[in-house]
């Protein structure tokens, strides 16, 4: 999976630099081309000559050295790699990446990389667990940086705990897994829905829900990573649009129904992650409804069931539904899967800590038509999205 891949390896200064030497060797044996960028601190631990000898390429260390390529060197390097790996990733380089600093060669080139970035943290366990480091890692993960590790065990300072850099073999395996699935949806047209719909009562108020859209946006990103052409039909959310994804904005369940069903015939995979209102007000007042001091009765009518409609119409399409439950989650999900004629149903119990609306993590079960299920542990929504894509790819092949 790594043969012919061009990997940028960023080496920052820490005792784990010796592991980066082994990592270069393993990447080369796997058939990858490796371009090493070192910080000055890293060069205090291991000489650049070692990395140059193993990679068979010049080692990039100083922004102001004579360029070795015709282009602005750090930009040319960033534009011509398939992935970047920062290993070891010290607390310092993690902080620079999170803040967008560019004060040396490595931090500058990373700011210009548009391909996937992996980081393998390596530091003392107290530094790793410091709130600033944890916040920086959270920021990077939100941006799509894949964090590998760290491991736990004896550390150079003589203590033991989290913060050991993952072993080179683990990092290579993670890269291989990424490239296996990175083109798994190549040539596929994917439609993802995200966010909570809003059903207007009057010009001021609406009926809505607590959905943040984070799960749907993560799924759109994961599908794009896997090589798909992605259309994201979403409501108003405070999230950045994933790279390479086409945005279609809607407000109500009716608008989402029209967009999704209209695009369905030309779509290969639909992932219905949006929280669509089941009901809407029978009428919407043209003026703001004034408070009268007495009870207000609203008459609600059903919205169209988008997932069920797609299940009736599907031919070659692969249909994924979501179910947010508060009780009997798995049993309700199996029933919904059958009623909607979906190929996969993702269910979560929103009452569990770390699995509700607006959280950065989720805990889900994947339910299949043959009665089987796969339970995923608590993890970031992006990691869950990548696992869902993995399952979709496996079921498509």
How much is the pLDDT for 70?
44
What integer pLDDT is reported at residue 171 of this predicted model? 92
Q: Annotated catalytic, 157? A: yes
At 206 the three-state DSSP class reads strand
Listed as own residue / partner, the contacts of 296-302 with beta carbons closer than 8 Å and 24 or more positions apart are 298/201, 302/278
Q: Domain 6-182 is in which class? A: alpha beta
User: Which of the four pLDDT bands, split at 50, 70 and 90, describes residue 69?
Assistant: low
pLDDT category of residue 152 using cuts at 50, 70 and 90: confident
As a whole number, mean pLDDT of residues 303-323 equals: 95
pLDDT tops 70 at residue 107: yes
The candidate with the shortest Cα–Cα distance to 178, out of 392, 396, 390, is 390
> What's the DSSP call for residue 264?
G
Predicted confidence (pLDDT) per residue in 348-390, tens digit: 888 888 777 878 888 999 999 998 999 999 988 888 998 999 8
- Look at residue 72 in the predicted model and tell me its pLDDT: 42
* 109 and 143 Cβ atoms separated by less than 8 Å: no
Catalytic residue among 1, 157, 248, 289: 157
Q: Where are the alpha helices (DSSP H) in 293-357?
A: 306-313, 329-340
Q: Hey, what CATH topology would domain 189-396 get?
A: Rossmann fold (3.40.50)
| Residue 78 banded pLDDT, cuts 50, 70, 90 | confident
Q: How many CA atoms lie within 13 A of 252 on its CB side?
A: 15
Half-sphere exposure for 18 (CA within 13 Å, toward CB): 3
With tokens 């398939």, the residue in question is: 82
* Segment (H or E) for 127: helix 125-129
Query: In the chain, what are the domain boundaries?
Result: 6-182, 189-396
> Which pLDDT value is given to residue 180?
66
Averaging pLDDT over each range in 65-74, 132-141, 219-228, which range is the top one? Answer: 132-141
Write out the two tokens for 14: 């820490």
pLDDT of residue 64: 67
- Give DSSP secondary structure letters for 254-287: HHHHHHHHHHGGG-SEEEE-SB--SEEES---SS
Binding-site residues sit at: 278, 288, 304-307, 322, 336, 340
Asked, colleague to colleague, whether 6-182 and 189-396 share their fold, the answer is: yes
SS3 19: helix
Annotated binding site for CTP: 278, 288, 304-307, 322, 336, 340
Pairing of strands 6-11, 83-89: parallel
- Side-chain half-sphere CA neighbours of 362 within 13 A: 31
- pLDDT tens-digit series, residues 230-277: 999 999 998 888 877 999 999 999 999 999 999 999 999 999 999 999
Q: Which of 79-83, 92-96, 287-291 has the highest mean pLDDT?
A: 92-96
Measured distance CA(311)–CA(275) in Å, rounded:
17
- pLDDT at residue 66 greater than cutoff 60: no
Least reliable range by pLDDT among 56-60, 67-71, 177-181, 374-378: 67-71
Distance CA 393, CA 397 (A): 6
Q: How far is CA 265 from the centre of its chain?
A: 27
């Amino acid at each position: 999976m790594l043969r012919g891949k061009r990997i940028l390896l960023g080496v920052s200064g820490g005792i784990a630099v010796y592991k980066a030497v082994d990592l270069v060797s393993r990447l080369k044996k796997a058939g990858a081309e490796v371009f090493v960028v070192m910080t000055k601190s890293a060069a205090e631990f291991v000489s650049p000559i070692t990395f140059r000898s193993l990679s068979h390429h010049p080692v990039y260390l100083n922004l102001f050295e004579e360029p070795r390529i015709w282009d602005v060197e750090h930009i040319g390097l960033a534009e011509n790699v398939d992935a970047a790996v920062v290993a070891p990733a010290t607390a310092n380089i993690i902080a620079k990446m999170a803040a967008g600093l560019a004060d040396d060669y490595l931090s500058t080139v990373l700011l210009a990389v548009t391909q996937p970035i992996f980081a393998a943290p390596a530091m003392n366990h107290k530094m790793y667990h410091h709130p600033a480091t944890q916040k920086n890692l959270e920021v990077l993960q939100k941006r799509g940086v894949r964090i590998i590790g760290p491991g736990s065990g004896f550390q150079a300072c003589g203590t033991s705990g989290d913060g050991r850099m993952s072993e080179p073999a683990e990092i290579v395996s993670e890269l291989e897994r990424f490239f296996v699935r990175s083109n798994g949806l190549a040539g596929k047209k994917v439609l993802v829905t995200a966010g909570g719909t809003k059903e207007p009562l009057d010009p001021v108020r609406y009926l809505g829900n607590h959905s943040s859209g984070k799960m749907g946006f993560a799924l759109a990103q994961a599908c794009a990573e896997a090589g798909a052409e992605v259309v994201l039909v979403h409501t108003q959310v405070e999230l950045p649009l994933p790279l390479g994804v086409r945005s279609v904005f809607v407000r109500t369940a009716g608008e989402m129904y029209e967009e999704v069903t209209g695009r369905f015939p030309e779509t290969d995979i639909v992932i219905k992650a949006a929280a669509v209102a089941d009901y809407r007000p029978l009428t919407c007042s043209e003026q703001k409804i004034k408070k009268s001091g007495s009870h207000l009765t609203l008459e609600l009518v059903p919205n169209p069931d988008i997932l069920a409609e797609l299940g009736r119409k599907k031919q070659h399409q692969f249909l994924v539904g979501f179910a947010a439950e508060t009780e009997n989650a798995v049993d309700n999900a199996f029933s919904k899967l059958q009623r909607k004629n979906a190929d996969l149903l993702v269910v979560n119990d929103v009452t569990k800590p770390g699995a509700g609306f607006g959280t950065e993590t989720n805990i889900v079960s994947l339910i299949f038509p043959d009665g089987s299920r796969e339970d995923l542990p608590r993890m970031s929504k992006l990691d869950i999205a990548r696992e869902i894509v993995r399952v979709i790819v496996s079921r498509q092949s």
